[in-house]
Amino acid sequence: MKPRRSFEEGHRRKFLIVVDESQEFESALYYAASRVQRSSGLIVMLYVIEPSELQHWAGVHQVQLDEETTKAKALFRLFRRKLAHAGFESVETEDVVREGRTAEEINHVIAEDEDIAILVLGASIDAKGPGPLVASLATARATGGFAVPVTVVPGQLSLAEIKALA
């Protein structure tokens, strides 16, 4: 594991968020953007393409990868527009698309980028629980631990509340 270097000269502090279409993702995004505005740095938006059941069919696999990559790029554009609309137009983002299991890919991205200092996740407001990624982190089943702190942002917070907390 590379040491964290985000505060050294020539490096920038990065906030890692895992992009999906959940409502709570926007809470994580706005929290990370608020932190970036107050402390400089940038947001790394990670989109993970989970392996499908049809991995043995190369043609089907490539079509899935192409479709998911196109979807990821569209989500990155959408969330950059939302950031600008919410007053975060100066916040820089870096887009990363990976294929694999989400928790494993989070670990790989953190291991590869010594400037990632914080993982920011949104917690679901659903009565069923905080969401699959937050739940797996809470039980430490899939992660093996992360080399950076994890911030879990409640999904029900308003933008004003998020800005006040960050």
The tens digit of pLDDT for each residue in 3-29 reads: 777 777 888 999 999 999 888 899 999
What's residue 103's pLDDT?
86
Is the confidence at residue 125, as pLDDT, over 90? no
Mean local confidence (pLDDT), 28-35:
96
Confidence of residue 124 (pLDDT cuts 50, 70, 90): confident
> What domain count does the chain have?
1
Q: Which domain holds residue 27?
A: 14-165
Confidence of residue 54 (pLDDT cuts 50, 70, 90): low
CATH of the domain at 145: 3.40.50.620
127: exposed, middle or buried (Cβ count in 10 Å: 0-12, 13-18, 19+): exposed
What's residue 164's pLDDT?
92
What's residue 153's pLDDT?
92
Cα 24–Cα 76–Cα 166 angle in degrees, nearest 5: 45
In a domain? residue 75: yes
Of 37, 49, 40, 46, nearest in space to 17 by CA: 46
What's residue 133's pLDDT?
64
Global pTM reads 0.86
In a domain? residue 3: no
- Highest-confidence range of 47-56, 140-149, 151-160, by mean pLDDT? 151-160
In a domain? residue 5: no
What's residue 110's pLDDT?
93
In a domain? residue 19: yes
Instruction: State the chain's mean pLDDT as an integer.
Output: 85
In a domain? residue 102: yes
Distance between CA atoms of residues 142 and 102, nearest Å: 9
Mean local confidence (pLDDT), 68-86:
96
In a domain? residue 76: yes
Q: Look at residue 7 and give its three-state secondary structure.
A: coil
In a domain? residue 131: yes
Query: What are the φ and ψ backbone dihedral angles of 100, each rounded to 5 degrees?
Result: 150, -165
In a domain? residue 9: no
